[in-house]
């Protein structure tokens, strides 16, 4: 290896090191040691140690000697150290490490602190999904309820058409909500589907009879069915950056609220096809206003003001063309059609 090439490699390494140091900026008020308490979230801890919480993977030390090293539990001790001049957050378990049975391991997973506040997103982890146009058009549907009930709910039976196989013993019932439309391309991105209930099949046929074992609202004629999915979207993921130069928009706000603020759930016109996944952080921007320059003296001299930073969103659930995100920070009122961009 020539001296020139060696010097080049050393310079590149130093440059990379300086870029890392410039990228990872600690919160000036960070502690050197912190004991995790019940009620903490990974977002809380990230903002406690970092100016930019989406850089969490850059400082988190994955200890191979610890079971589930990405999970943090109340009682765990976090210590900030420096390795080769770079900040690193190391963890010591607050309880003895033992070999866990599958059942105990599952219970232990539930005790780990979530990434973001569960009470703000719980219903959107299991109760609300996005379905495509084709799935909605071909889905089985409720054609009638059994008996003369004013309101159809738990303990009642309903008849459904369109169930052509006998593979799935239990079905989820959902009410088709409004469409998600891309504001820039007018593409139909899917439909919001609100969970209504769940019922096992009592008798297959045309129509099929289902017993309503669970309902969250009245089951109505026209509600759609899909095979029951017991899987719950994970609440344990790390804050991190989405692909470079990703840009999208807020296309809907959940729960019928009109003012979007901190801890409101919104839908974005970005999904797995754009590489979006839980944990991705976006900065929110309001489109800069176009105003008339009254000083220049030019006729109809218009100028567009810069886009305004309005806060941060973390994605917690992704579908093909749409994602659900939680507003983690709001510095001003946020609106539908505001932009989201890679920080």
Q: In terms of domains, do 102 and 131 share one?
A: no
In-domain check, residue 74: yes
In-domain check, residue 169: yes
Task: Give the integer Cα–Cα distance in Å for 62 and 65.
Answer: 9
Task: Tell me the residue range of the domain where 77 lies.
Answer: 3-113
Q: What is the pTM of this model?
A: 0.84
Q: In terms of domains, do 284 and 306 share one?
A: yes
CATH number at residue 311: 2.40.10
Q: What angle do CA 332, 324, 123 make, to 5 degrees?
A: 105
Q: In terms of domains, do 150 and 174 share one?
A: yes
- Give the mean pLDDT of 71-92: 93
Q: Of the residues 164, 194, 227, which one is the last residue of a structural domain?
A: 227
Q: Report the mean per-residue pLDDT for the chain.
A: 87
Q: Of the residues 63, 90, 113, which one is the last residue of a structural domain?
A: 113
Assign 317 a pLDDT band (cuts: 50, 70, 90).
Answer: very high
Q: Which residue has the higher pLDDT, 227 or 18?
A: 227
Q: Of the residues 227, 257, 279, which one is the last residue of a structural domain?
A: 227
In-domain check, residue 68: yes
Q: Say if residues 284 and 260 touch (Cβ distance below 8 Å).
A: no
In-domain check, residue 119: no
In-domain check, residue 118: no
pLDDT digits (tens, 9 = 90+) for 134-184: 999 999 999 999 887 778 899 999 999 999 989 999 999 999 989 999 999
Task: Give the number of domains in the chain.
Answer: 3
In-domain check, residue 326: yes
In-domain check, residue 144: yes
Q: In terms of domains, do 220 and 290 share one?
A: no
- Give the mean pLDDT of 295-301: 87
């Amino acid at each position: 290896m020539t001296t020139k090439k060696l010097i080049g490699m050393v310079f590149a390494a130093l440059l990379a090191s300086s870029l890392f140091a410039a990228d990872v900026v600690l919160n000036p008020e960070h502690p050197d040691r912190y004991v995790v308490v019940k009620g903490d979230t990974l977002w809380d801890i990230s903002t406690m140690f970092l100016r930019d919480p989406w850089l969490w993977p850059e400082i988190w030390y994955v200890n191979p000697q610890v079971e589930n090293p990405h999970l943090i539990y109340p009682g765990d001790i976090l210590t900030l150290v420096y390795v080769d001049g770079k900040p690193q957050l190391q963890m010591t378990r607050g309880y003895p490490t033992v070999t866990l049975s599958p059942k105990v391991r599952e219970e232990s997973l539930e005790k780990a602190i979530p990434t973001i506040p569960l009470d703000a997103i719980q219903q959107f982890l299991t109760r609300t999904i996005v379905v495509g146009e084709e799935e909605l058009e071909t889905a089985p549907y409720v054609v009638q309820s059994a008996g003369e009930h004013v309101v159809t709910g738990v303990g009642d039976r309903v008849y459904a058409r369109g169930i052509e196989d006998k593979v799935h013993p239990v079905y989820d019932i959902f009410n088709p909500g409004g469409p998600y439309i891309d504001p820039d391309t007018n593409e139909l991105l899917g439909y919001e589907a609100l969970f209504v209930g769940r019922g096992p099949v009592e008798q297959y046929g045309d129509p099929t009879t289902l017993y309503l074992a669970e309902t969250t609202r009245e089951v109505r004629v026209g509600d759609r069915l899909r095979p029951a999915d017991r899987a719950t979207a994970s609440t344990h993921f790390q804050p991190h950056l989405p692909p470079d130069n990703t840009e999208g928009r807020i296309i809907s706000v959940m729960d019928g609220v009109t003012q979007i603020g901190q801890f409101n759930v919104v839908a974005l016109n970005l999904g797995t096809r754009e590489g979006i996944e839980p944990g991705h952080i976006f900065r929110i921007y309001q489109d800069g206003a176009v105003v008339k320059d009254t000083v220049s003296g030019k006729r109809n001299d218009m100028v567009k003001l810069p886009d305004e930073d309005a806060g941060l969103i973390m994605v917690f659930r992704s579908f093909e063309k749409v994602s659900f995100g939680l507003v983690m920070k709001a510095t001003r009122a946020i609106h539908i059609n505001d932009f989201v961009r890679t920080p």
